Each structure stands twice: as structure tokens, then as C-alpha cells.
Amino acid sequence: MLTTRHCSLFTAIVLLAGCTLARADGDIESRKRVALTVHGQIPAGMADRVRIHLELNLAVAVRSPAPNKTPIEDFDEAVEALAAQRAATNLCLLALTGSTTVTNLRGRVYPKEKIAILNVSRLVAIPSNLEDVTDNERVMRRVEKEAMRAIGHLIGMPPCPSIRCAMRTPRNDAEIDSKGRNFCPPCHQKAFSMLGAHLPGAIPTQLMPPAVRP
């Protein structure tokens, strides 16, 4: 037999699902915008993987201009050229570069300019310590992790000590494969607060039926 409390709980679930879907579909234009640029040759589908990963896990809107066939060879020099594309966003720019001769950097973050550059060629070259995924999937995950960490630093987040968190600074190349692809719960909450976004599944208290309000 359904009681009033059961009906209230059911209503809350329906409202929660409706609000989550509305945010996913209707609020994309109100999200903070990130520019994702590609330079040189990177694995097929990588830019789309990174875009989807960032949009799903950080509630940002990622815009990708046409790829640039020329790789980034001098990171510091490239920042000035990237600044014009950064100006079209209201958050930051993330550049993925492949086919580069830079071998000693996984990437670099420029907090003042709100620009980060990931060296895909360096991330591809790191030997794997994972046996249960393909080489292509391994590289995709590495770039997703470092993209999350780069955006985190650009919005002002500090490194995280948790090995399961994407905000952890790898102590060595092998640790990139063992750390998480997403933020730990405390970092996730902090990132959403900084971005002015609602955590997935959150529902404003005033929309909850009285029986399920905290």
C-alpha cells in the first residue's frame, strides 16, 4: 500500500531525474566554456574523448576550432598565439599537441594566461604498466586524466594526495596509469563550487517535497 510518504519519495525521484536531464540538455550554453585545440597528429577520436570526458565530469561546455596541422614545438612561445583563441572562452584553453619533438614534458600549465598544453606524443611514449587495456585505450585514459588535472590547476585547484584522484601530481611516468581519471569526491565538490555548477544529482531544497527535505 502506498502511503503519502511513499508518494512524496516517488515525486522527489521524478523531480530529481527531470532536473538532471534539464541541466544536461538545456543548460549547456550557460556553462563555463573551454576551448580545446589540436595541433599536429594525435590518435583518432582523442579530441572527442577529451571533450566528452570534460563535459560529463566538470559540467563545462567544450568548443573545438579546426585542427592545426602544425605541432607545438616551443610551449612558451605558443602561449601568445593561443591567447587569441583563449579570448573566445570564459574559462580556459586546453591544447593537445602531437608529432612534436619535445620529449621531456608531459605538458605545461600557464595559470595567468589560463592556458594548458598537453604533450600527447610524450604520453604515448610512456611504457605501460596496464595489461587489461589496449595501447590505444591506455593513451586515451592518460590524456583524459591529465586534461582533468590541467583544467583543475587552471581554475585554481591544488594537487591532491589521493592516488585515485586526477588532481594527483604523478611522481613518475608509471603513476599516470595507476591514478584515477576523475576527481575524488572532495576535489569534485571543490571544482563544481569554483565553476558555479551543480553537482550531478543535486536538487534544490525548495523543490523537494516536505517529507524528504533535510
Question: Cα dist. 58→40, 111, 126 in Å?
Answer: 26, 18, 27
- Are 118 and 94 in contact, with CB atoms under 8 Å apart? yes
Domain count, the chain: 1
Region 4-25 average pLDDT = 42
The amino acid present at 100, given as its one-letter code, is T
pLDDT (tens digit per residue) in 89-110: 779 999 999 988 888 889 999 9
Count of beta carbons in the 10 Å neighbourhood of residue 145: 23
Burial of 132 (0-12, 13-18, 19+ CB in 10 A): exposed
Quick check: 199 pLDDT over 50?
yes
Angle between helices 46-58 and 185-195 (to 10 degrees): 90
Residue 33 lies inside a defined structural domain of this protein: yes
The answer to whether position 160 is within a domain reads yes
pLDDT 10s digits, 35-71: 999 999 999 999 999 999 999 999 899 999 899 999 9
Measure the CA–CA gap between 56 and 142, rounded to whole angstroms.
Answer: 17
Q: pTM for the complete prediction? A: 0.79
Residue 11 placed within a domain: no
Instruction: Determine the 3-state secondary structure of 37 from DSSP.
Output: strand
Query: Distance between CA atoms of 189 and 195, rounded to whole angstroms?
Result: 10
Could you tell me the CATH number of the domain that includes residue 89? 3.40.390.10
Structural domain boundaries, residue 73: 28-196
Q: Please indicate, yes or no, if residue 22 is contained in any of the structural domains.
A: no
| Distance of alpha carbon 120 from alpha carbon 177, whole angstroms | 14
Share above pLDDT 70 across residues of the chain, in percent, rounded to a whole number: 78
Is 76 inside any structural domain? yes
Say which DSSP state 198 is in.
P
Quick check: is 142 in a domain? yes
